[in-house]
A and B are shown apart, each in its own frame.
Chain A
Amino acid sequence: MTDIKRLNLILGILAVLILVTSCAAFAYIMIPKDTSMVVVNDVEYTWDELFENFQTTTFNAKDTSFEGILLSDIIYDTGLANPEGHQYIIASSDYQKTVNWTSMVNGFLVREGNGVVNDKITIFPGLPQQYWVYDVMTIEVI
């Protein structure tokens, strides 16, 4: 087999491998997950419970007005002692961000965003949008 043909074969195999595996990975991340509950520090909340029982605050992020619950209020409700001494992993099924207590005091849990977004997300007005976790499922204390 000539070098050219070998190159073509190697490129072809690698291309197919990339397409198949990345397509599989995409299919995996697209599998619908149950986001009806949020588990915060091992305490389960439904979204309806959260928005009925906690005070909501209107705030601005990315030039848009949102209404949400302060993340620190939910942590207080779970009865965690010394919350400022911990870090928090906010996670969906395929994404997570770890933040400190200062961010939790300034971060919000939002259910709908005035038509701009219609997801269950955490928004930190003072942090990059990379910290917006969509379809939040757990907030773990570490």
Chain B
Amino acid sequence: MNKYRILAGILVFGSVWGMLECILGNVNISWFPMGAFLGGFIGLGLMVFSRRLFGVVWMQLGMAIVAGMLRFWAPIGTCIICSALAIMAEGLVFELIFNRPVFNITKTGQSELKNWRTLAFLGILSGFVIYVIGYMFTQIMTPIISTGTFFVSDFIKVLPTIYGTGFFAAIFGGIALPLAVLTPQLSIDVNKIKKEHYYAIATGVSAFCWVLVIAFFHLV
């Protein structure tokens, strides 16, 4: 695939992911596990979907870097850099799981990974791991960056909460992965989209996401 198409894909999917992280991350619904939804459904779902469309490894880490950069523009909480780095860590974890040939979810992958049950199992595992690693990452990095100290006892005490709320990320992952891989309407051949349309849509969608976040958090 043309490398510029891939770069445009990284930009557009990363921007959409970052925009959803910023906007939905700002929504506070006490009964809804928003963090688990963002990691297990939105993040994982977009990474799986883009892997299906492009079939390019390490592209999703690029998306996470773009999403993390956009996250810098949304002052939710007070350790923005930690949240941005956590998104990037989630992208890295995705690559480490899905770059293994046995978990090849692209069209060239093994037939068993077209089975909804296998995909749901894999989604539960990956949704959980991606969320838990991201959560642990912020718990370690935030004290280090904000106060210059890190207490292992503080980290150990929060582990049951991280593990327990990971339940919801696992559920969301178990839904997102089969949905992103098996939904026929989401199966698009990006190579067949006309060049001028492809780049126009990628530029427009990316610009919309960045402008929306900057306007939402800095102008409104």
Contact = CB atoms under 8 A, between A and B. Distances in A.
A27 B111 CA distance: 37
B138 A23 contact: no
Interface string B167-211: 100110010000000000000000000000000000000000000
Contacts of A91: 157
A128 B77 contact: yes
Interface residue SS majority, chain A: helix
A86 B163 CA distance: 31
A19 B124 contact: yes
B79 interface: yes
Interface residues of B, number: 39
B112 A8 contact: yes
B163 A130 contact: no
B38 to A, nearest CB: 16
Nearest to B166: A22
A14 interface: yes
Interface stretch (A76-84, A93-101, A107-115): A93-101
Nearest to A91: B157
A125 B93 CA distance: 33
A139 to B, nearest CB: 14
Interface stretch (B5-13, B14-22, B139-147): B139-147
Contact of B164 (A12, A28, A129, A130): A28
A89 B138 CA distance: 19
Interface in B77-120: 77-79, 82, 102, 110-112, 115, 117-118, 120
Given A97-B154, A127-B147, 8 more contacts: A8-B121, A18-B125, A22-B128, A25-B164, A26-B164, A95-B158, A98-B153, A127-B78
